Amino acid sequence: MTHTVHYGAAKDYSGPEVRQALDEILPPVLTACGGVAGKRILLKPNLLFCRKPDDPAAVHPAVITGVAAALRKAGAAEIVLLENPGAQTVRAVIGRMGIAGTLAAEGVFFDDFSDYRERPLPDACVFRSLKIAREFERFDLVVDLAKAKTHAMMTLTLAVKNLFGLVDSAGRIGWHLAVGSDFKRFADLLLDLYLTVRPRICIIDGIIGMEGNGPGSGTPAERNFLAASDDALALDASVAEKLGVPARKLLLLQQAAKRGLEFSFEDSGAVPPVRPFRLPDPPGMLNAWGVVLPPFCKTTLRNLVGSRPAVRKEICIGCGRCAEVCPPRSLKLSREKKPLFDLNHCIRCYCCQEHCPKGAIITRQQLLTAFLSKLMKLVRR
Ligand code: SF4
Ligand code: SF4
């Protein structure tokens, strides 16, 4: 089945620009999902963290309040905003964004996910069960409100990856550890979440996204669009192409295709031109090549040709968050309170980068990879 992906243009995050774009993209999606009148809605925005009100690590506050107001206007009986931010609470993020009063005026309750319990997954899933926030089961409809960002493991984080927020923090660390550098398994996990939660209204904030060192430490990237669909996979496929990543090259969609999950789409509205994001270094180079090696070879090769986490000491504040979230405990703080990496045990999950509140963790190419990249560029000329 082909899903329509609706685009609306917005020059910036001012109220009229955001409202106009939402007025263009939301009505057809509401119609496609049977409307929201009288329904109880779970709003799940990406609120990774918020260092300043317009932090590109999170969905912009103007989009959150704009979507809440549109849902209320369309007759939603109840709207609850739930999320599990990386390093802060939902209340802290919403407070820093300065929208607590606006949400309260729209009657929107907001809090952290808290009801984490093991749950059997549908038959089409790869994993049998998963410990996730069960709150979503109490709602008639889930609204998936994502941000267009780069991601060290998945290349891009869009609507499907946003659902990883339903896994609790300890579970996220455990999954990264279990999956290690097998990013295909991580993509399967995300697809299982998509099949389980089935968000019916999916929106991506691409007015100002994040490129480079995403999803937490990249640079703002203005793309001036909001996009929406009734299907998260189709929305991701369409938006990825506008950000310069062909759908067939996105690992998540490659795994979806292998599992027979469709993501065909047709675009509608103010479709933005293709303007590629600057992508993170590919930490999953060996995975991308489909190379299966014994662990000791893999570690040696990974240390030779893969990318690795590194710290920009001048902006690190020594808070220790990176060490707390490192799944295999391969990152410790030095006496000077700066990260020290044990690269032999580092699984290249980039949780440290995702959670660093200062954007001090970067990905760095190994010398051999940097040399080979330069060589390839010369050969291609
Ligand atoms: S790298 Fe980031 S998370 Fe780690 S100690 Fe420094 S500021 Fe904190
Ligand atoms: S050091 Fe960073 S990239 Fe390596 S395993 Fe720990 S959190 Fe993951």
- The answer, yes or no, to whether any atom of ligand 2 lies below 6 A from the CB of 194, is no
Say what the pLDDT of residue 287 is.
Answer: 42
- The answer, yes or no, to whether any atom of ligand 2 lies below 6 A from the CB of 330, is yes
Measured by CA distance, the residue closest to atom 7 of ligand 2 is 326
- The answer, yes or no, to whether any atom of ligand 1 lies below 6 A from the CB of 42, is no
Say what the pLDDT of residue 357 is.
Answer: 84
Tens of pLDDT, residue by residue over 161-171, are 999 999 887 77
- The answer, yes or no, to whether any atom of ligand 2 lies below 6 A from the CB of 307, is no
Other CB atoms within 10 A of residue 23 CB? 12
- The answer, yes or no, to whether any atom of ligand 2 lies below 6 A from the CB of 180, is no
Tens of pLDDT, residue by residue over 202-257, are 999 999 999 998 888 889 999 999 999 999 999 999 999 999 999 999 999 999 99
- The answer, yes or no, to whether any atom of ligand 1 lies below 6 A from the CB of 356, is yes
Ligand nearest to the CA of 356: 1
- The answer, yes or no, to whether any atom of ligand 2 lies below 6 A from the CB of 349, is yes
The structure tokens 């790869």 sit at 126
Ligand 1 centroid from CA 144, angstroms? 29
- The answer, yes or no, to whether any atom of ligand 1 lies below 6 A from the CB of 320, is yes
- The answer, yes or no, to whether any atom of ligand 1 lies below 6 A from the CB of 312, is no
What are the structure tokens assigned to 338, written together? 């700066």
Give the position, in ligand 1's atom list, of the atom nearest the Cα of 361.
Answer: 1
Say what the pLDDT of residue 288 is.
Answer: 40
CB crowding 52-91: b at 16 or more within 10 Å, else e: eeebbbbbbbbbbbbbbbbbbeeebebbbbbbbbbbbebe
Domains belonging to the chain, first-starting first, are 3-269 (3.40.50.11440), 285-380 (3.30.70.20)
Q: What does the chain come to in residues? A: 381
7 strand-pairing partners: 227, 269
Ligand 2 centroid from CA 42, angstroms? 32
Say what the pLDDT of residue 118 is.
Answer: 85
Q: What is the mean pLDDT of each run of 10 residues along the chain (381 residues)?
A: 97 98 98 97 94 91 98 98 89 95 97 92 87 95 97 92 89 71 86 97 98 88 98 98 95 96 97 94 47 53 69 94 88 95 85 84 71 60 51
Tens of pLDDT, residue by residue over 298-314, are 556 556 656 788 999 99
Ligand 1 centroid from CA 44, angstroms? 27
What ranges make up the beta strands (E) of the chain?
A: 3-9, 40-45, 78-83, 108-112, 116-120, 129-133, 141-151, 155-157, 201-211, 219-229, 265-269, 307-311, 331-333, 339-341, 361-365
- The answer, yes or no, to whether any atom of ligand 1 lies below 6 A from the CB of 358, is yes
Ligand nearest to the CA of 364: 2
Integer Cα distance of 321 and 352 in angstroms: 8
Give the position, in ligand 2's atom list, of the atom nearest the Cα of 350.
Answer: 3
Integer Cα distance of 47 and 145 in angstroms: 10
Ligand 1 centroid from CA 329, angstroms? 15
What is the pairing mode between strands 219-229 and 3-9?
Answer: antiparallel
Calculate the average pLDDT of the chain: 89
Give the position, in ligand 2's atom list, of the atom nearest the Cα of 322.
Answer: 7
Pick from 88, 312, 319 the residue to mutate for probing ligand 1's pocket: most ligand atoms within 8 Å of its CB. Answer: 319
Backbone angles phi, psi at 4, to 5 degrees: -90, 135
Integer Cα distance of 112 and 115 in angstroms: 9
